[in-house]
Amino acid sequence: MRALRILAIFAAAAAPLAAQAVIDPGMTRDQVVAKLGTPATERRSGAFTYLFYSNGTERTVGMNDLVLLEGNKVVDAVFRSSARRYSGTSSSPVAISPEAARRQGVAAQAGGVSAKDPAPPAGAARRPDSTTKVQPPKKPLHDADRPDTKP
């Protein structure tokens, strides 16, 4: 089963570039829709429009493919589908194989850092760990409990 998964990943990566729908920076919404079809979902916020496309890997990757427009011009795209490609510089991190992720996690743990809980950025507030005791909040005093209001 694992061999079939690996074979499927290599087959998808080897998809001919000519078969890919290429989205270029500066394209309009209409040009994107002409190449990719109607988006599964579309959201707007201020000058930004977010076009979400199903990619068939939502359950494993956790996201749809995304095209971001500002003022009706493409400024970014994040694709997980091998049938789509963004010719500009995507804000998405480079995808790595599950095996590479495991190796990185093992290397991080060997160095004393958990891949699941990386060190927070400098200046960030730290979360309490499981050994930190959190004190319950003090109950506010009612007027009858205040020493200065007793008869």
- CATH code where residue 67 lies: 3.30.1450
User: What is the reported pLDDT for 10?
Assistant: 46
Q: 95 lies in a domain?
A: no
Q: 104 lies in a domain?
A: no
Q: 120 lies in a domain?
A: no
| Rounded CA separation 83/37 (Å) | 13
Tell me which residue range forms the domain holding 78. Answer: 2-86
User: What is the reported pLDDT for 36?
Assistant: 96
Structure tokens given for 44: 């707007």
Q: 150 lies in a domain?
A: no
Nearest to 18 by CA among 97, 82, 72: 82
pTM for this structure? 0.53
Q: 72-93, pLDDT tens digit by residue? A: 999 999 998 889 999 999 988 7
| Rounded CA separation 21/35 (Å) | 6
Nearest to 85 by CA among 28, 11, 133, 16: 16
Q: 77 lies in a domain?
A: yes
Q: 30 lies in a domain?
A: yes
Pairing of strands 48-53, 65-70: antiparallel
Q: What is the tally of structural domains in the chain?
A: 1
